[in-house]
Amino acid sequence: MYEVSIQTAFSAAHRLRNYQGDCEALHGHNWKVQVTVQARKLNDIGLAIDFKILKKITGEALSRMDHTCLNDISPFDAVNPTSENIARVIFEELKPRVTELDVALAKISVWESDNAWASYCEGD
């Protein structure tokens, strides 16, 4: 099994509803996102997936979040915009797109700071 990962970023504000602490107030992050896909085989030239293609489809998924208040966009207008939920939403948006490219989406990790992150992957 091969794994291929890319890392990118977006900037957005959010506030955590019902947090009862500082993070309940509106604040922003420069979010870092890592996308990892898996492939059982390589193509004719030895690639699982072209990094450029993976970066492009990830950028398209993140563009609706970039420079927004996450609480104002779906599904975060109803679901708390935690790092965990952001990772799951990105996963759900990217999964069908990468499946079309003969790779499987393995994991999405979202950092809200250099030392704090959450990851989402589908379990059994």
CATH number of the domain to which 61 belongs: 3.30.479.10
The number of helix segments (H) and strand segments (E) in the chain equals 2, 5
Q: Which residues contact 49 (CB under 8 A, 6 or more apart)?
A: 4, 37, 39, 98, 101, 102, 103
Expressed as residue numbers, the domain containing 86 is 2-120
Q: Total domain count for the chain? A: 1
From the list 5, 1, 4, the residue with the least C-alpha distance to 109 is 5
User: For the whole model, what pTM was predicted?
Assistant: 0.95
Instruction: Note the pLDDT tens digit of each residue in 49-85.
Output: 999 999 999 999 999 999 999 999 999 999 999 999 9
Q: Is there a contact between 105 and 119 (Cβ–Cβ < 8 Å)?
A: no
